[in-house]
Amino acid sequence: MQPPKKVQDKTNSISRRVLMKRAGALGLLAGLQPLFASCANHPLPPAARPSPDISTLSGELIELVISEGSFALDRKNGVAVSINGTIPGPLIRLKEGQDVILNVTNHLKEVSSIHWHGILLPSHMDGVPGVSFNGIEPGTTFTYRFPIKQSGTYWYHSHSGGQELQGMYGAMILDPIEPEPFRYDRDHIVMLSEWSDESAEVMLDNLKKFSGYYNFQKRDAQEFRSDAARWGFWPALKNYMMWDEMRMDPTDFADVTGSTFTFLMNGLPPAGNWTGLFRPGERVRLRFINAAAMTFYDVRIPGLTLRVVQADGQNIQPVAVEEFRLGPAETYDIIVQPTEDRAYTIFAETMDRSGYARGTLATQPGMEGQVPERRARPLRTMEDMGMMGHSNGHNDHTVMRSGTNHHDTMHGQGMQHGQEGADRDRSPILGAMPVKHGPDHHGTGNQTVAEYAQNRMHEPGRGFEQSSRRVLVYTDLKSLVPYQDQRAPEREIELHLTGHMQRYMWSFDGKKYSDAPEPIRVRDGERLRLTFVNDTMMEHPLHLHGMWMYLENGSGAYLPRKHTVVVKPAERLSVVISADAPGSWAFHCHLLLHMEAGMFRVVQVLI
Amino acid sequence: MVLWTCWATTVICALSASIGVTNTLAESVPGDRVTGTGRSLTVVPLPERARTLANLVPQQGWPNPVNDQEHRLFTLIDVLEYRPRTGGSGSNSDYRWDLEGWYGGDYNRLWFKSEGQQDTAFKADYDVDFQLLYGRFLWKHYDLQVGGRMETQSFRGGNVTRGLGVIGLQGIVPYNYEFESSLFIDQSGAISARLSYTKDFLLTQRLILQGRFQTNMAIQRVEEFTTGSGLNNLEFGARLRYEIHRKFAPYIGLSFERSFGETATLVRRQGGDPSQIRFVVGVRMWY
């Protein structure tokens, strides 16, 4: 073992050396595993916490150092930007009610920043260069200080250029003052992300010049043959021609795919098999965080029921599912109870099915479970384009039908409850019936509009059509306790999610940020409804800094609150906010390249 | 176990902070970080103003939070090919190119285009042209372009050159055809036009058949540029490329070309063949 070295002493040179050193350490440990495997099975203390780990920081003063170094993974050599020399960065574990000071030193040659995702704090501590501060200049240290006013699972990441995609992210756990409303014996973080040897700048450049650059799952002659065999030649041709006529690609599920990404779980590629230990019968809490810049993950653990207890760090009424979709920046805490003495695979398939991240829950290190087959790449439908009444192609029929079923159920419930009088459990879902698009088609920077947009929170999303599994949907999310502010919104702002796939332009209301730098102004204390209408054919995870978005998903007084809300194609979805945080806040799509392309706004809460 | 160790070392996974795997890891990698725990430090309480006062307005000199105004340079060499001699009258081995590109942002771009051909059904000897255009992104799918064109061709053993004004419309039309049209007015007022369509058919994800159609028309007869009045020529091409890399794809193909009427007569008079079927081999690339 090499003598200890302090990373921060070696300006700008983290890295490969330190990384290699760590790799060596783990390698050595791997060899020693049988010796200490029994240690891992020690009886756990009554208050379960994640096992202490090399990179857990806590207390009232925390030092973080940003540096870069070359980094190779899966034979992909690139430049990594890391926090304290690791990817992911250290776990920051704090206690609700404490104050914290975080000294962040930038050893890069460019401006950097850290944004504390989902944390309520003064706006100048939010870490967004150009909105909350000037950024952290090279060679300087910025001191963040704020009180911890909440609890749950969160994360932090760079808000400067493509640094997040290069590895600059880490988990943040805020332990509650009150005991957790659920029991568990063990606690693991499962942080999903991705790695590529291409920088975000290169990716954006490639996509601006050829938007299908990373898609190697387009419809080709072979697929046409099999579709023609299944649907008949003419219907298949008609379907293909229809998409061509609209100048759209129905296979567009991820702008950047497994053709360049290696998908990571806690920093490990699938072959690295991150392993979380358990003893049969234990309740294991898994804190899923999607720290990926561009990837939606569909997560399941074959053989286990996933009991979702928190969404975006907030307690919800527990809901049991078999699979859930995790948008970039979202978090879900789930509890599983594996009873058998065997390995369970945590399988996180990307939404476009071009790859997966994978890890294992095991009773001993080194065990591996069966890795499921990837499912077929899904297809967009006319529903995703907001075209009602069209029913072209065969997929659409199934989708339409399942959509209708859901609606019946929903309305049925609504009526029953309505008859019982005022019910705090249910409330109308805005946009439950399709709403026709207005005459404004958002200019030339917006390719299409959803002719009819409607709420799709009860749908699991595209790609689950053939699945019989119970998949988490947004209408499942009900806050455990009603939040204090139950006022009806005083004002509503409708915001359209717009873009142009072929040009790779992304915007709100057809205007990218630099063409619409005027902030969205909100009065302090105002209760405001934001209605999002997705005119694009992609899912967008929208993130509001500094304040919660209460998802109007029909849960009455129990609306769940989120920091990141995924809006599906052609969806109309509403959230309410209680503007209780004066200052300027970023609001943007959390797909990194969409944000960089201009899908970004400033929300200003005026005193 | 050995395998596992290999993985761990080669894959550099330790940095992943495999949270919760082992306790022992903490001791094994000492010292390379600063931690807030265990330090005796007086934490200054947050000043009251810091808790409540927010910087309401982003200040002058702060950077743009996103880089959505980047300018880029794009060059597409769509055709760069060798056309071997096919026998018959007057067709020789020769080369041909067709490239275009732009510099600019999402809406405003400076376009450049160049075509070079020799011994085609339209140009008996060599013909080279270059265009420089300003383009504006309009109507969701099109770039409207305005600018100039310089054309040089050989005529009766000598070189002739002319300047032309250009109005162009380029974009993607329904059914996903790349569409390019230009209207030219040369220095003496002669008007001509060019129209082309290309479309990609994916045989596999990397083996792609590009269909190509091009035609030229003119109102006035301009003899030294082998241009008759009316329809000048038609060309159909099929090029099968293999994308070794998205940006680099060798291809083979066939090109059917024919010129008509006065143009055909002029080409023939120049010693060219106004009706050709040519085999081509080339490379398509962009950056």
- Summarize pLDDT for A160-169 with one digit per residue, the tens: 999 999 999 9
Instruction: Quote the pLDDT of residue A439.
Output: 81
Strand order in the sheet with A344-350: A274-277, A356-362, A344-350, A297-300, A324-326
**H or E segment and range at residue B173:** strand B158-173
B28 touching A, CB under 8 A? Answer: yes
What's the whole-model pTM score? 0.84
Instruction: Quote the pLDDT of residue A180.
Output: 92
Cβ <8 Å between B26 and A53: yes
Which tokens in the block code for residue A491? 């004002």
Instruction: Quote the pLDDT of residue B53.
Output: 43
Nearest by CB to residue A99, choosing from B17, B46, B63, is B46
Residue A174 or residue B89, greater confidence? A174
Is residue A79 a contact partner of residue A69, using CB atoms and an 8 Å limit?
A: yes
Alpha helix stretches (DSSP H) within chain B: 2-10, 25-28, 48-52, 261-269
Instruction: Quote the pLDDT of residue B36.
Output: 30
* Residues A236, A238, A240: CA angle, nearest 5 degrees: 70
Mean pLDDT of the A229-238 span: 93
How far does Cα A407 stand from its chain's mean position?
A: 26
How many secondary structure helices (H) and strands (E) does chain A include?
6, 33
Could you report the per-residue pLDDT of A321-374, keeping only the tens digit for each?
999 999 999 999 999 999 999 999 999 999 999 999 999 999 999 999 999 999
Q: Which residues of B touch A245 (CB under 8 A)?
A: 174-175
**Confidence band, pLDDT 50/70/90 cuts, at residue A418:** very low
Distance between CA atoms of residues B287 and B274, nearest Å: 35
Percent with pLDDT over 90 in chain A: 70
Q: For the ranges A143-147, A173-177, B14-18, B62-66, which has the lowest average pLDDT?
A: B14-18
Instruction: Quote the pLDDT of residue B57.
Output: 61
Distance between CA atoms of residues B196 and B177, nearest Å: 10
Instruction: Quote the pLDDT of residue A215.
Output: 95
Site from A21, A42, A44, A55 to mutate, B interface, most B CB atoms within 10 angstroms = A55
Cβ <8 Å between B172 and A598: no
Q: Which residues of A touch B106 (CB under 8 A)?
A: 445, 503, 505, 512
Mean pLDDT of the A214-233 span: 94
Q: Give A280: exposed, middle or buried? Use CB within 10 Å, 0-12, 13-18, 19+.
A: exposed
- Please give the backbone phi and psi of residue B180, each rounded to the nearest 5 degrees, phi first: -140, 125
Instruction: Quote the pLDDT of residue A404.
Output: 34
Report ipTM for this prediction: 0.80
Q: Which residues of A touch B286 (CB under 8 A)?
A: 209-210
Nearest by CB to residue A27, choosing from B5, B16, B61, is B5
Instruction: Quote the pLDDT of residue A423.
Output: 58
Cβ <8 Å between B21 and A171: no
Q: Is the peptide bond before A3 cis (omega within 30 degrees of 0)?
A: no
Q: Which residues of B touch A127 (CB under 8 A)?
A: none
Cβ <8 Å between A51 and B28: no
Q: Which residues of A touch B25 (CB under 8 A)?
A: 25-26, 29, 53-54
Distance between CA atoms of residues A558 and A571, nearest Å: 22
Q: Which residues of A touch B24 (CB under 8 A)?
A: 29, 32, 36, 39
Percent with pLDDT over 70 in chain A: 85
Chain B residue at shortest CA distance from A104: B34
DSSP type of residue B47: P
Residue A45 has pLDDT above 80, yes or no: no
Instruction: Quote the pLDDT of residue A435.
Output: 84
Residue A410 has pLDDT above 70, yes or no: no
Strand order in the sheet with A561-562: A505-508, A491-500, A527-534, A572-578, A549-551, A561-562
Q: Give A114: exposed, middle or buried? Use CB within 10 Å, 0-12, 13-18, 19+.
A: buried
Could you report the per-residue pLDDT of A491-535, keeping only the tens digit for each?
999 999 999 999 999 999 999 999 988 889 888 889 999 999 999
Is residue A477 a contact partner of residue A325, using CB atoms and an 8 Å limit?
A: no
- Collect the ranges in chain B with pLDDT lower than 50: 1-54
Instruction: Quote the pLDDT of residue B120.
Output: 80
**Confidence band, pLDDT 50/70/90 cuts, at residue A19:** very low
Q: Please tell me the distance in Å from B192's CA to the nearest CA on chain A.
A: 29
Distance between CA atoms of residues A263 and A86, nearest Å: 17
Residue A402 has pLDDT above 70, yes or no: no
Mean pLDDT of the A274-283 span: 94
Q: For the ranges A15-29, A196-210, B179-193, which has the lowest average pLDDT?
A: A15-29
Mean pLDDT of chain A: 84
Nearest by CB to residue B31, choosing from A5, A50, A596, is A5
**Pair type for strands A186-195 and A284-290:** parallel
Could you report the per-residue pLDDT of A26-43, keeping only the tens digit for each?
333 332 222 222 222 223
Residue A339 or residue A413, greater confidence? A339
Instruction: Quote the pLDDT of residue A49.
Output: 39
Is residue A604 a contact partner of residue A579, using CB atoms and an 8 Å limit?
A: no
Instruction: Quote the pLDDT of residue B264.
Output: 87
Nearest by CB to residue A128, choosing from B24, B39, B65, is B65
Instruction: Quote the pLDDT of residue B19.
Output: 34
Q: Which residues of B touch A8 (CB under 8 A)?
A: 33-34
Half-sphere exposure of B126 (CA within 13 A, CB side): 14
Nearest CA among B134, B186, B194, B199 for reference residue B160: B186
